[in-house]
Structure 1
Amino acid sequence: MAMTSFSASAVPSLNHTLVGIPSPLTAAAGGPRPAPGTVNALFFDAVERYERADALLYKVNGVWEPTSHASILTRVRHIALGLARLGIVAQDRVGLLSENRPEWLLADYACLCSSVTDVPIYPTLPAEQIPYLLNDSGARALFVSTPEQARKVASVRAQAPGVQWIIGFAAGKDDGCDYTLAELEALGAADDSRERATLFKEQALAVPPDQLVTLIYTSGTTGNPKGVMLTQDNLCSNVLATKATMPVSTADTALSFLPLSHIFERTGDYFLFANGVRIAYAESIDTVPVNMSEVKPSLMMSVPRLYEKIYARVLENAVSTGGIKKQIFFWAKRVGERWADEKLTGREPGGLLGFQYRLADTLVFSKLRERTGGNIRYFISGGAPLSPEIAKFFYSAGLIILEGYGLTETSPVISANNLRDYRLGTVGKPIAGVEVRIAKDGEILTRGPHVMRGYYNNAQATRECLTDDGWFHTGDIGVLEDGFLRITDRKKDIIVTAGGKNIAPQPIENMLKTNKYVSQAVMLGDKRKFPVVLIVPDWDQLEKWAARNQIVWTSRAELMNMPTIQAKVEKEVKEQLKGLASYEMPKKVKLIEHDFSIERGELTPTLKVKRRVIDQTYKAQIDELYAGAD
């Protein structure tokens, strides 16, 4: 399940929101649902309505190259006709293994318009995990992006005998591909004509709303991935409902960098395309800061990790400069917090506070906006927890972050904040057509056109989460407050100590990640006597502190095992978590040298922690923390 966003505020004790605490059923609905529709109709409408020359931007040899709506339509048709020449027919499955780039969009729309079900695969997946997805879905063909991705697939191709053709965007036969995309398009172009173009559009628009569009395999935290079956109307309804609350126009530019293989970015890009927004594909995750300065986006979707990194870097720059600049920054931060408190309660700050804020904006906040390209109207956040402290800081700097919530199984958006209806620390109100209900055990249930058809080839898993009357069990714990949804944790992540105390780990981990010495934090302790926390330090910060204190080390492993360093991090953890109930406070801290990673299976592709994997991977270190405990 993906795009889940947790934004519980830091409070003295968190147990009152947890599973097992009886509460009455509460419900909210986001208004009437849009009429059933298709993504295909949105596609043709956008192409004909906007006709812009720079619908897409992609950097080639250091230059941002545009792709027009007209070119997109022609290439989508040629790819679709090329697939038909290979024998791909309606309801066949075709894999899609690629980083974000225009060809991803072209191949996707070609499949949708041909009633072919595509199967997106995360480009970060190791080779050995790919055959399961291809075999379970029954994929007959596979698009790949680069020579590296093609060679990865070639190494395991024998394990997926059903795949008859591999088509490379920027890879060829030497890399294990059967066709290049150019060759496939040439096959389709040979069959094209004015009459064929008319027929192609008619057939695409005749696809019914309940047509299966895609199988998206959830990363999961245990067991094999499950293929989420989403229909044309699942995705279309989400786009239309979001359109009613998120203001965009053809003047906007969005920087796309989250994986299109994830439902958050994919539905987001459908939304952007349907509204004529220019979409610029970032070169990579690492180049996002540079690409922001080049493209100057007005909109961006991201997981909280980006905002955490920006926040940490801003704090570090302020501290490292020292002197008067440091004092000005922290003065401005305090002013911004007071200003935000006034704005968020509906009051307009004036008088001395208004004057101070204008000065703080000139001296500090305007420079932060420049670092994001100077043109951001708002960010959209999903996929993982966002700290309310970080959200308030961005808000005070004139960079509003609209948190939303949803899952792969819900296409994905269930609820979202918007510029007209915004409450910090929540994930907003349900969007149009979406019902939300809080069960007696605190679990969030949802029903509406956004809910998946079920899990492919897995009726048992479908029955476990989807009721006969259409209510989907999200697995998340939350509350409704004046119609706003607040998420407190994952139901399966709740830590129940040996003493029977319930602890929500994610808000606590969120609080820790705002500390400048902490890069990543994972709290554990289920069925144990007390909670503990694994900390991956922000090594830049910790090494600078060690150098200032004249500590000598030869490796990070040596540094983190020094009693002085251990005591420093433990002190930071305790100070950061002041106000927690005593049973919620981690009693011991273990430092981990390397970041938790997707490649080692410790994080999902959307950077959510696989708590059980980490518990198993670091079992020896965790057991040491409990050794001798009374």
Structure 2
Amino acid sequence: MSRRRSCELKAGELITATWAELARAVDARSAAFSNLPFSRIPSDNTFEQIVDILAAMRAGVMEVSVDPRSAPMADGPVDVGGDAAIVLQTSGTTSQPKGVVLTHDNLYGNAAAKLAAVPQSNDDVRLTVLPLSHAYARTSDFGTWLISGCTLAVTHGFEGLIQLAPLVSPTLMNVVPSIAYRLLQHDLDAIGLERLRLLGCGGAPISVAAFEQFKRLGVTVIQGYGLTETGPVICSATPDNATAGFVGDFVDGWEHEIRDGELFVRGPHVMKGYWGDEQATRNKVDAEGWLRTGDLVQRDAATGQLQILGRVDDVIVMDNGRKISPSPIERDVEQLAGVRHAMLVWRTRLELWIDGDASETEIRALLLKHPECRRATVHRFDPPLSIEQGELTAKGTIRRKVVQRRYAGS
């Protein structure tokens, strides 16, 4: 494994390649892209996908990365400029998914900034389980691999992790909270994670209890924050300052302003624009280059680290005029054993919707910590929320507008 820099498990056999073997495969494949204006590359987290991605880069062709689980993007103009590298789809948590055009400078600069915050060496083994069609894995897995020269092992999801980890003994991995929680149900040494030292966790906050449990097991959880439109990394914890409930400080390259609690950022990692939608681009990034994140944040004065308080659009205004940010309350509820998702809404009164089997007594006891929610009625999603029904994003976060419409008459 020492000289093998990429690998994949296929039909029970470990397929590996050195940098030289990878380069030959890329050279052979790049000719197929040379006369195309852009190339649609399906995301299946395979060695072939890695070759296609690098071949498109070698041929100077813009990649349109396609997640088979997501709704297709509308076609946009082919001519988006010579520096455009890729179109990645947003998660669609707050609106219809959009195609985000990122440049080569965006991709390289953001990966380098992430690597500066979380260093890795060519002795590390990175196991990728998240879709390479999404910005998180594309930058924090794929991009950092290319720059650092470590070994990259690719698979998909928790089941792929369980199969491949014992064969490669990873030291680094990025996941979403749902995968992190499943890992804690196992003996890490018994599933091939005895060398794991850093676990990146993004897409949604990980619970304080899980963060501390990993810490006791000798694994540092690295939380971060960002948007597809920002490459995606805006903030990242480091191995030295990782703290439960915080997403770290700003990575290199960002200017920031916090206006009425909402975060705005400007810098070299901001997208080129939305695919085929100039108006949406202007709505997101102003003439001076400031990108509106739509997120409410709080910065610790002593450490510089950020806490994400929720989305501006999700703020609930009750009939007495009082405003509530639902995200901190929902995160508290989701730390109860057996709760997969929680959503707080206002429909003539405050309602808490639960996906899980925590008891009413447990839920009520927790709500006592939030005086504004003591009288909230509690409801349960039935059937449970799912990606397949369009209620959750690929990262496992709730599509609030979809879910609210679906349960509006309940």
Same fold (TM > 0.5): yes
Kept in 1: contact 2:221–2:242 (CA 8 A): no
User: 3-state SS of the aligned residue for 2:409?
Assistant: helix
Residue of structure 1 aligned with 2:344, choices 519, 523, 528: 523
User: 3-state SS of the aligned residue for 2:279?
Assistant: helix
User: 3-state SS of the aligned residue for 1:136?
Assistant: coil
Distance 2:65 2:297 in 1: 30
Kept in 1: contact 2:8–2:154 (CA 8 A): yes
Residue of structure 1 aligned with 2:286, choices 459, 463, 467: 467
Amino acid at match of 1:136: G
Kept in 2: contact 1:303–1:382 (CA 8 A): yes
Q: For residues 236-291 of structure 1, give each alpha carbon's deviation from its aligned partner in whole angstroms, at most 9, with x where no partner exists.
A: 11122222221211221111110100000011211123211111112543332343
Aligned partner of 1:513 in structure 2 is 334
Q: Which structure would you say has the larger Rg?
A: 1
The reply on whether 1:598 has 2:387 as its aligned counterpart is yes
Post-superposition shift, 1:222? 5.9
The reply on whether 1:580 has 2:346 as its aligned counterpart is no
With normalisation by structure 2, the TM-score equals 0.92
Post-superposition shift, 1:451? 0.7
Distance 2:156 2:299 in 1: 39
Give structure 1 stretches of 5+ with no counterpart: 1-50, 140-207, 315-366, 539-567, 622-630
Amino acid at match of 1:306: I
Kept in 2: contact 1:229–1:454 (CA 8 A): yes
Amino acid at match of 2:58: C
Post-superposition shift, 1:221? 4.2
Distance 1:391 1:223 in 2: 30
The reply on whether 1:443 has 2:383 as its aligned counterpart is no
Distance 1:376 1:369 in 2: 9
The reply on whether 1:306 has 2:183 as its aligned counterpart is no
Post-superposition shift, 1:592? 2.2
Distance 1:280 1:289 in 2: 13
Q: Would you tell me which structure has more strand in proportion to its own residues?
A: 2
Q: For residues 30-59 of structure 1, give each alpha carbon's deviation from its aligned partner in whole angstroms, at most 9, with x where no partner exists.
A: xxxxxxxxxxxxxxxxxxxxx974111111
Q: Tell me: CA distance 1:235–1:586, structure 2 relative to 1, closer, same or farther (3 Å).
A: farther
Aligned partner of 1:476 in structure 2 is 295
Give structure 2 stretches of 5+ with no counterpart: none
Distance 1:243 1:112 in 2: 21
User: 3-state SS of the aligned residue for 1:79?
Assistant: helix
Kept in 2: contact 1:499–1:529 (CA 8 A): no
Q: Report the number of matched residues.
A: 406
Kept in 2: contact 1:122–1:605 (CA 8 A): no
Residue of structure 2 aligned with 1:239, choices 95, 111, 120: 111
Q: Tell me: CA distance 1:310–1:593, structure 2 relative to 1, closer, same or farther (3 Å).
A: farther
Pairing 1:421-460 to 2, within 5 Å after superposition: 421-439=241-259, 441-460=260-279
User: 3-state SS of the aligned residue for 1:286?
Assistant: helix
Kept in 1: contact 2:112–2:147 (CA 8 A): no
User: 3-state SS of the aligned residue for 2:256?
Assistant: strand
Q: Tell me: CA distance 1:515–1:221, structure 2 relative to 1, closer, same or farther (3 Å).
A: closer
With normalisation by structure 1, the TM-score equals 0.61
User: 3-state SS of the aligned residue for 1:620?
Assistant: coil
Pairing 1:22-101 to 2, within 5 Å after superposition: 53-84=3-34, 87-88=35-36, 92-101=37-46
Distance 2:192 2:366 in 1: 28
The reply on whether 1:229 has 2:169 as its aligned counterpart is no
Kept in 1: contact 2:167–2:192 (CA 8 A): no
Distance 1:278 1:309 in 2: 24
Distance 1:392 1:500 in 2: 38
Post-superposition shift, 1:66? 0.6
Q: Tell me: CA distance 1:96–1:252, structure 2 relative to 1, closer, same or farther (3 Å).
A: same
Distance 1:57 1:464 in 2: 42
Q: Would you tell me which structure has more helix in proportion to its own residues?
A: 1
User: 3-state SS of the aligned residue for 2:297?
Assistant: strand
